[in-house]
């Protein structure tokens, strides 16, 4: 390891310790549980502490736009710790999706206007990219934008928008006559209806957004949004993978701890090979997930875009599958108590199952890896 | 290599590369490898004839000697035993650079002796034993095999029954060992014998360095299911050895054996045949050659295999770095061994899908039937060096802190 890499590793370790210390001390598991009741808002004190004292939203934003100019590797550390704590937060939608898309759009004026607000945490934003089919690939961009006399007007629907109801600013993927384009819309715009969707995972609220002749400002070059969206998707995969890693690691710890303490047939159940060996299989998957996230996070800050896309899919596929597996086995190893409403195992399970389907399934990600390894193919597209 | 201040890593790397370039040919780059050219051997176990094995062993011994005499054969070993006395990082650098060149194929009889047994003697031997054996083993002049397993003691090494009975300054050894690589070439055998029939396993055994040419030692080849004979059975018929051949105190054989097994696991993915990039590369070429790269099912399975192979190799690098910084091989080696054998299992399955009947019936086509030896070898790797179940127990108890098995 060269000195720069070693230094960065130690900075990342310090960041992890700070974030974990903060989340352990300030965010009880009751915080995620609170969201089981509809209509909850994110804890404003937790957000302002993360923004003002820890500077977490600013990490991957360039210094010229008011950020800390650290990198996505650091964001991955934060996302992993938030996943471990099961923190309901605006972080993913605002810092990863919206700030990621704004930076990727390479629109200096808009970046100067918007990113400092997101970096400081004074505003939150989200990305409205998906149609009802929920597919990140081959988006049809059914929502249209037309160039009217007083600027662009947006009409149509976006679904599965994280924090769609609470975000101050919405970055919207739409189709114009020139093709896929990005627009910035004020969350309080006239003509914008934001309807919360009931969600399996209450800690990541989603909404459907209906646009009726809503005013939007172009972000980047009209008709050329696809590279920025592709980059944003890769970053979303990295952060979601890291979140899943944190959650899976926590579930494994819960299961191991319980297996040591629960006695059945006169022995701690962790002494039975059926349980013991299952836990080792889960541990291997978690360790695989960890190295995959480390590799993808390193590549995120490099200029090797094709390699990063592949690694992001490799890591996401591993982490999403592992989280779902470990969250499921955690319930099983806990037995009946793990299936109760009061036990926290269900909260992790909800987030795990949602993660598994929100960003493309395993087959989709395996195809992205295969394209890197074996070349693209006509039979799939 | 007698300098007191070590060279920088980079200047060491340059020296190593220059020396290798002067002595062996560079390895052709992947893109230069042509389908159908060279060997298509992918076996996991030795399936060559005894004569071929002896010839390969002599070639790799000569190479080991050459490296040793140039100062690259015992880089991180103490100078008093002919080592260069440098930090372990240099050893890693040399291994990386050596991989850029074509060197004689590794033979278990030598790799076990040079790595595991010499390391164990360095750890446990008396000053006389270290003086006598380490330089000789590291240089490949003499070879040491490892005698742990018995017909009645595989996973449960606590059942070792081969007896050593003290007779004054000597010991009488009687019993049988099995699954011994390289016994037919070895000068000494690192043997664990029961010296107390009643004690608990932590006190019941004692380790010895037995001369393999002593009267009463019989070595017979053991043919494994792949067809070759990579192992031996070794019989000891009241073999008389001196007490000076004892390795460590009487009753400490269990600890000695555990130390060696930990070394073995930490290197489990090294030199066991192909894995990782090489395996992926060969399978990609097989898919391309057979026109299967567009098949969506093949693509899915490839991606999964590739992902798991990469993750196993990243994890191995990480564990390697930890072992280097702490000096202690931990239970992570067991996790890697599990992952490694699963990778090989998956590779064999994938090869079968890509190749079809030509993997199991020899049509003479390059790169097809050779895989039958690979798939037949996988069951053995799941057993050797600790079965999957033993590895899982080790990880569960030592990493996850779960209750120990009843003994």
For residue B271, pLDDT over 50 is answered with no
Say if residues A94 and A56 touch (Cβ distance below 8 Å): no
Output the pLDDT for position B35: 83
> Mean pLDDT over residues B70-89, rounded?
91
Q: How confident is the model at residue B1 (pLDDT cuts 50, 70, 90)?
A: very low
For residue B328, pLDDT over 70 is answered with no
> Mean pLDDT over residues B286-299, rounded?
94
| Residue in chain B lying closest to A369 (CA) | B303
Tell whether B152 is within 8 A of chain A (Cβ): no
Please give the structure tokens belonging to residue B348: 């064999």
The per-residue pLDDT for range B340-390, each reduced to its tens digit, is 999 999 999 999 999 999 999 999 999 999 999 999 999 999 998 889 999
For residue B32, pLDDT over 70 is answered with no
> Mean pLDDT over residues B171-199, rounded?
97
Any idea which residues of B carry the catalytic annotation? 264
Q: How confident is the model at residue B96 (pLDDT cuts 50, 70, 90)?
A: confident
For residue B231, pLDDT over 90 is answered with yes
Is the CB of B402 less than 8 angstroms away from the CB of A276?
A: yes
Separation between Cα atoms, residue B98 and residue B272, nearest integer Å: 17
Output the pLDDT for position B2: 47
Output the pLDDT for position B266: 65
- Nearest in space to B171 (alpha carbons), one of B121, B208, B201, B117: B208
Tell whether B304 is within 8 A of chain A (Cβ): yes
Q: How confident is the model at residue B327 (pLDDT cuts 50, 70, 90)?
A: low
B183 vs B320 pLDDT, higher one: B183
The per-residue pLDDT for range A42-72, each reduced to its tens digit, is 999 999 999 999 999 999 999 999 999 999 9
Count of other CB atoms within 10 angstroms of residue A3: 7
Separation between Cα atoms, residue A380 and residue A139, nearest integer Å: 16
Q: Which residues of B touch A294 (CB under 8 A)?
A: 314
What phi and psi values does residue B64 have, to the nearest 5 degrees?
-60, -40
For residue B231, the SS3 value is strand
Q: Which residues of B touch A9 (CB under 8 A)?
A: none
Is the CB of A369 less than 8 angstroms away from the CB of B306?
A: yes
Q: Which residues of B touch A281 (CB under 8 A)?
A: 392
Q: Give me the percent of chain B exceeding a pLDDT of 70.
A: 94
Tell whether A262 is within 8 A of chain B (Cβ): no
Question: Can you spell out the DSSP letters for B61-103?
Answer: HHHHHHHHHTT-SSTTS-GGGT-----HHHHHHHHHHHTTB--
Is the CB of A284 less than 8 angstroms away from the CB of B401?
A: no
Question: Nearest-CA distance from B386 to chain A in Å?
Answer: 15
For residue B7, pLDDT over 70 is answered with yes
The per-residue pLDDT for range A153-212, each reduced to its tens digit, is 999 999 999 999 999 999 999 999 999 999 999 999 999 999 999 999 999 999 999 999
Burial B38-52 (b: 16+ CB within 10 A, else e): eebebbbbbbbeeee
Output the pLDDT for position B269: 41
Is the CB of B396 less than 8 angstroms away from the CB of A363?
A: no
A318 vs B31 pLDDT, higher one: A318
| Residue in chain A lying closest to B394 (CA) | A280
Separation between Cα atoms, residue A1 and residue B200, nearest integer Å: 45
> Mean pLDDT over residues B42-65, rounded?
90
Classify residue B331 by its DSSP letter: T
Give CB contacts under 8 A, 24+ apart, made by A373-377. A373/A310, A373/B280, A373/B284, A373/B302, A373/B303, A373/B306, A374/B284, A374/B287, A374/B288, A374/B293, A374/B299, A374/B302, A375/B293, A377/B293, A377/B294, A377/B296, A377/B299
Is the CB of B311 less than 8 angstroms away from the CB of A260?
A: no
Q: How confident is the model at residue B173 (pLDDT cuts 50, 70, 90)?
A: very high
Q: pTM (2 decimals)?
A: 0.91
Q: For chain B, what is the mean pLDDT?
A: 91
Please give the structure tokens belonging to residue A67: 């950020």
Burial status of residue B168 (CB atoms within 10 A of its CB: 0-12, 13-18, 19 or more): exposed
B107 vs B190 pLDDT, higher one: B190
Low-confidence ranges of chain A (pLDDT < 50): 1, 379-381
């Amino acid at each position: 390891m060269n000195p720069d890499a070693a230094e960065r590793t130690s900075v990342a370790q310090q960041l992890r310790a700070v974030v974990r210390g903060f989340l352990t001390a300030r965010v009880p598991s009751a915080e995620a549980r609170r969201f089981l009741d509809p209509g909850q808002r994110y804890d404003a004190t937790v957000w302002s502490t993360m923004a003002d004292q820890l500077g977490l939203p600013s990490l991957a934003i360039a210094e010229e736009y008011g950020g800390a100019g650290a990198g996505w590797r650091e964001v991955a550390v934060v996302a992993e710790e938030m996943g471990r704590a099961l923190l309901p937060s605006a972080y993913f939608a605002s810092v990863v999706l919206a700030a990621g898309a704004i930076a990727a759009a390479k629109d200096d004026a808009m970046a100067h206007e918007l990113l400092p607000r997101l970096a400081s945490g004074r505003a939150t934003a989200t990305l409205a990219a998906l149609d009802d089919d929920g597919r990140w690939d081959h988006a049809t961009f059914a929502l249209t934008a037309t160039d009217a006399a007083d600027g662009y007007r947006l009409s149509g629907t976006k679904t599965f928008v994280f924090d769609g109801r609470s975000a101050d600013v919405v970055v919207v993927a739409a189709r114009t006559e020139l093709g896929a384009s990005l627009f910035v819309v004020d969350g309080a715009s006239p003509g914008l209806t934001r309807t919360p969707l009931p969600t399996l995972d209450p800690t990541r609220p989603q909404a459907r957004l209906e646009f009726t002749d809503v005013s939007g400002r172009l972000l980047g070059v009209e008709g050329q949004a696809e590279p920025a969206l592709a980059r944003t998707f890769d970053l979303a995969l990295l952060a979601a993978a890291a979140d899943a890693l944190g959650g899976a690691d926590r579930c494994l710890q819960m299961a191991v701890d319980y297996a040591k303490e629960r006695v059945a047939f006169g022995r701690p159940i962790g002494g039975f090979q059926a349980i013991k060996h299952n836990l080792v299989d889960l541990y291997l998957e978690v360790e695989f997930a960890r190295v995959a996230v480390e590799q993808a996070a390193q590549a995120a800050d490099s200029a090797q875009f094709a390699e990063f896309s592949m690694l992001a899919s490799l890591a996401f596929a591993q982490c999403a599958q592992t989280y779902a597996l470990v969250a499921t086995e955690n319930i099983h190893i806990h037995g009946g108590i793990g299936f109760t409403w009061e036990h926290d195992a269900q909260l992790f399970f909800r987030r795990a199952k949602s993660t598994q389907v929100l960003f493309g399934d395993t087959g989709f990600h395996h195809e992205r890896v295969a394209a890197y390894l074996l070349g693209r193919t006509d039979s799939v597209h | 290599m007698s300098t007191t201040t070590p060279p920088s890593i980079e200047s060491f790397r340059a020296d190593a590369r220059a020396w290798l370039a002067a002595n062996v040919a560079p390895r052709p780059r992947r893109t230069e490898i042509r389908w159908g050219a060279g060997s298509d051997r992918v076996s996991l176990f030795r399936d060559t004839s005894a004569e071929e094995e002896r010839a390969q062993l002599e070639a790799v011994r000569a190479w080991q000697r050459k490296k040793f005499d140039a100062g690259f054969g015992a880089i991180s070993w103490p100078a008093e035993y002919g080592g260069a006395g440098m930090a372990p990082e240099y050893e890693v650098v040399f291994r990386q650079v050596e991989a850029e060149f074509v060197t004689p194929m590794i033979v278990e009889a030598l790799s076990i002796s040079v790595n595991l047994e010499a390391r164990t003697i360095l750890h446990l031997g008396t000053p006389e034993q270290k003086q006598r054996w380490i330089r000789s083993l590291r240089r490949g002049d003499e070879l040491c095999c490892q005698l742990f397993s018995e017909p009645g003691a595989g996973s449960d090494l606590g059942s070792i029954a081969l007896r050593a009975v003290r007779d004054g300054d000597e010991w009488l050894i009687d019993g049988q060992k099995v699954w011994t690589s390289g016994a037919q070439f070895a000068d000494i055998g690192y043997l664990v014998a029961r010296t107390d029939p009643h004690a608990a396993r932590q006190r019941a055994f004692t380790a010895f360095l037995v001369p393999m040419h002593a009267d009463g030692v019989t070595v017979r080849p053991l043919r494994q299911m792949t067809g070759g004979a990579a192992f031996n059975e070794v019989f000891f018929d009241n073999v008389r050895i001196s007490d000076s051949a004892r390795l460590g105190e009487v009753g400490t054989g269990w600890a000695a054996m555990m130390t060696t097994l930990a070394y073995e696991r930490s290197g489990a993915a090294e030199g066991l045949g192909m894995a990782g990039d090489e395996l992926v590369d060969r399978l990609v070429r097989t898919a391309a050659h057979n026109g299967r790269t567009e098949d969506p099912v093949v693509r899915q399975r490839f991606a999964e295999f590739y992902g798991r192979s990469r993750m196993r190799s990243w994890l191995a690098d990480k564990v390697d770095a930890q072992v280097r910084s702490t000096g202690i091989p931990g239970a992570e080696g067991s996790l890697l061994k599990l992952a490694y054998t699963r990778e090989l299992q998956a590779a064999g399955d994938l090869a079968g899908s890509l190749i079809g009947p030509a993997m199991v019936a020899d049509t003479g086509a390059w790169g097809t039937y050779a895989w039958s030896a690979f798939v037949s070898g996988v069951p053995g790797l799941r057993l050797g060096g600790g079965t999957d179940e033993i590895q899982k127990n080790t990880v569960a108890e030592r990493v996850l802190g779960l209750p120990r098995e009843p003994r």
